Amino acid sequence: LSIEILVIISERIPSLLRNNQELLKTLIEMIFLRMLDIDSEINEEWSKPPEGYSQDLDTDSDYVNTKFGMNSIDRLIASINYQTILPILSQMVQQMLQQNTDWKFKHAGLMALSQVGEYVDNADWVAPIVDIVTPFLLDQHPKLRYAACHCLGQIADDMSPKFQERYNDKCVPPLIQIMSDPVPRVQSHACAALTNIFEGSPQDKIVPYMNTCLLYTSPSPRDRQKSRMPSSA
């Protein structure tokens, strides 16, 4: 309730938080703490959802607090402006990733960053985010791989085609690699992220990856070993 009250205040009187960065940081920390309330178990239901399941977080009971936090971040950016929020958010997420061994902190940071693309006009502004998120595509924890897919896919969709023009060569190779992830849910989200990226990409940016995509979706491990990933820029 206290988070909702402060977010409403930011919407009604945005200058109050815009001019008080300590209060803004405290509010974002409170949001992150709420987002830590997520199921630790990687069970069969999560890792192997039924065919045709919705990837909408609104329908996933495990992501209620994550979605609440993401919506709160979204409302803060909309009311205060991304020029104020993004540097603070990026710095706080970097600190969370570096100082916390608990994967839940990292998950909260990645999911929060997914909200920034809708409000950013200049692709240069998300360069630090791409640098932060991309390595988590190959993280050992499946929920972090999933969160990294979600983040990049959402930003690519929100910033299309500017994101694709700048970051295709950095994001596409590792996303293709986890199309053969051992966890079906991560596989599915990697494919969804690639769909968002390719839909906003010119043809010449897509063609070099087509054979590799086909090989990574092949049931034959031998075929996947034969694939050669394009070198990233």
Report d(CA 174, CA 57) in Å as an integer.
23
With contact defined as beta carbons under 8 Å apart, do 190 and 178 qualify? yes
Q: Can you say how many angstroms the Cα of residue 62 is from the centroid of all Cα atoms in its chain? A: 17
> Does residue 216 register a pLDDT over 50?
yes
Closest C-alpha among 42, 19, 41 to residue 184 = 42
Going by pLDDT thresholds of 50, 70 and 90, the confidence category of residue 108 is very high
Report d(CA 189, CA 195) in Å as an integer.
10
Q: What is the pLDDT of residues 48-73, one digit of tens each?
A: 877 655 566 655 666 899 999 999 99
> Does residue 94 register a pLDDT over 60?
yes
Going by pLDDT thresholds of 50, 70 and 90, the confidence category of residue 211 is confident
Report d(CA 113, CA 153) in Å as an integer.
11
- pLDDT in the model for residue 195: 94
Q: Name which residue leads in pLDDT, 27 or 228.
A: 27
- pLDDT in the model for residue 52: 55
- The whole-number average pLDDT for the span 134-143 is 96
Going by pLDDT thresholds of 50, 70 and 90, the confidence category of residue 43 is confident
With contact defined as beta carbons under 8 Å apart, do 193 and 114 qualify? no
Alpha helices in the chain (DSSP H): 2-12, 14-18, 21-35, 44-47, 64-80, 82-99, 103-113, 127-133, 142-158, 162-177, 184-199, 203-216, 221-226
> Does residue 140 register a pLDDT over 70?
yes
Integer angstrom CA distances of residue 132 from 22, 77, 107, 126: 23, 19, 12, 10
Q: Considering the chain, what is the average pLDDT of its residues?
A: 86
> Does residue 96 register a pLDDT over 90?
no
> Does residue 113 register a pLDDT over 60?
yes
- pLDDT in the model for residue 186: 94
> Does residue 31 register a pLDDT over 60?
yes
- pLDDT in the model for residue 218: 63
With contact defined as beta carbons under 8 Å apart, do 6 and 34 qualify? no
- The whole-number average pLDDT for the span 74-94 is 90
Report d(CA 155, CA 151) in Å as an integer.
6
- pLDDT in the model for residue 229: 45
Going by pLDDT thresholds of 50, 70 and 90, the confidence category of residue 233 is very low
> Which residues are CB-contacts of 11 (< 8 A; sequence separation ≥ 6)?
75, 78, 79
